[in-house]
Structures are given as structure tokens and as C-alpha cells.
Amino acid sequence: MPDKIESEVKSSKIILAQGDITKQTTEAIVNAANSLLRGGGGVDGAIHRAGGPKIMEECRKIGGCPAGEAVITTGGNLKAKYVIHTVGPIWKGGNAREEETLTRAYQNSLALASRKGIRTLSFPSISTGAYGYPLQEASKVALNTIGNYLKGHPEIEKVVVVLFSDQDFHIYQETLKEIGLR
Ligand code: ADP
């Protein structure tokens, strides 16, 4: 029953948490940034406030990040050693390759973590705030993409998905059950 074993391995590595991602103690946290890496509202603002000016200094040097790509800085004053900045798609109704771009944002963040030897990382729900991606659809993309990546990458030991609101947390829980990861 290899399928069953595989899904057990996957589910034990994906953890859903409710709260503030800046408090996470994983080696890296992922930021839902904008393509200019200038900071802003939502989770981006919270990460720069909690992490201090060093993160923005490094972002300025990097200069920018196109949607679907990911870049890395140190974690400044955060408990996490690194911040992986990725840029999700702006929701335009679903026909502008939003799903593909959101998938690439998760994949490229995970691939960057692997390259850097990072074994534990936390994601927020990318694109579902100011960028307007419908939450239920986004939760499927997020959890399927993370689950698929973990199948082929045993070097990643744990992925925490941190949901800010109670409602978001419940929707992600339902999706995790639905897609058979829990
Ligand atoms: P985007 O521009 O990619 O939509 P936002 O920051 O506006 O990014 O929203 C992404 C998600 O992050 C939203 O679900 C929002 O509720 C959530 N969020 C906001 N602040 C935090 C935080 N401190 N920790 C975790 N998630 C957060």
C-alpha cells in the first residue's frame, strides 16, 4: 500500500497553525511580498515590523521579484533565521494564469529552501488578502503544491501553514481532509 504510506508521510510534515507567522520558530518564514519588495500591508508589513530594518535593506539590494518567483533574506530580529519573499498573483477572475503563478510561488519558495539547506519553514496563505485570490481555491493550490513537493524532497522536514483568521484556518483544515493529506 505505497499510497497510504506516502500520504501518512506527507500529512505528518504539513502542519496547519492559526496565528501570527512572525512568531514562528521554523528556520524560515515565507513572506507574501509585492514585486518591488517594498513592504506594504498585511503579512508583509507584519514581517518587516517584527523583523526590523535589516530585512528591508537586503530587499532593496535585491531590487525586486517577479510574480511566481522567490528570493531570500536573513530574518533580522525574527526568531526565523531567514525570510523567503515570494510574490503571488493578483486575482483577476481566474483566466490570467493565477493558479499557475500561485503554484510556482509555493514551488519556488520550497526549492529555495532546499537549496539553502533549510529544513523547516512556514507559509502564510499567499495571495488571499489584498491580492484577492478566493480562499478555498487558494487552499487547494497551496496544500496540493506543498504535498507534491514533499513527496520528492525528503530534505524538507516540516512545513507549517499559518492562517491568520479562524475562518481561514477551518477552510484549510477542510481542504487538507478533502485532498487526503489528513
Ligand atoms: P497578498 O497580497 O499576497 O494577498 P496579504 O498579506 O494581503 O497578502 O494576505 C495574505 C494572507 O496573510 C491573508 O490571509 C492575511 O489574513 C494573512 N496575514 C496577515 N497578517 C498575517 C500574519 N501576521 N501572520 C500570518 N498571516 C497573516
Burial 131-158 (b: 16+ CB within 10 A, else e): bebebebbbbbbbebbbebbeeeeebee
CB-side neighbour CA atoms (13 Å) of 104 = 15
Determine the pLDDT at residue 12.
74
Please give the mean pLDDT across all residues of the chain: 93
- Facing residues of 16 across strands? 161
Find out whether 78 and 22 touch, Cβ atoms under 8 Å: yes
Query: Interhelix angle for 53-62 vs 42-51, to 10°?
Result: 120
Determine the pLDDT at residue 181.
66
- Respond yes or no: is residue 44 known to be catalytic: yes
Say if ligand 1 is within 6 A of residue 39 CB: no
For residues 173, 154, 159, 127, the Cα torsion angle rounded to the nearest 10 degrees is -80
Burial 27-65 (b: 16+ CB within 10 A, else e): bbbbbbbbeebebeebbbebbbebbeeebbebbeeeebb
pLDDT in tens, the chain (182 residues): 343 333 343 467 999 999 999 999 999 999 999 999 999 899 999 999 999 999 999 999 999 999 999 999 999 999 999 999 999 999 999 999 999 999 999 999 999 999 999 999 999 999 999 999 999 999 999 999 999 999 999 999 999 999 999 999 999 999 999 987 65
> pLDDT, tens digit, for every residue of 85-106?
999 999 999 999 999 999 999 9
Alpha-carbon separation of residue 111 from 20, 62, 108, 146, 174 (angstroms): 24, 18, 5, 11, 26
Find out whether 70 and 86 touch, Cβ atoms under 8 Å: yes
Q: Where are the domains of the chain?
A: 4-178
Q: Indicate the pTM of the whole model.
A: 0.94
**Measured in angstroms, how far is the CA atom of residue 48 from the centroid of ligand 1?**
13
CATH number of 4-178: 3.40.220.10
**Nearest ligand 1 atom, CA 128:** 4
**Nearest ligand 1 atom, CA 34:** 2
Find out whether 58 and 74 touch, Cβ atoms under 8 Å: yes
Determine the pLDDT at residue 4.
39
**Measured in angstroms, how far is the CA atom of residue 44 from the centroid of ligand 1?**
7
Exactly one of 3, 44, 166, 168 is catalytic; name it.
44
**Measured in angstroms, how far is the CA atom of residue 6 from the centroid of ligand 1?**
30
**Nearest ligand 1 atom, CA 168:** 14
> pLDDT, tens digit, for every residue of 107-117?
999 999 999 99
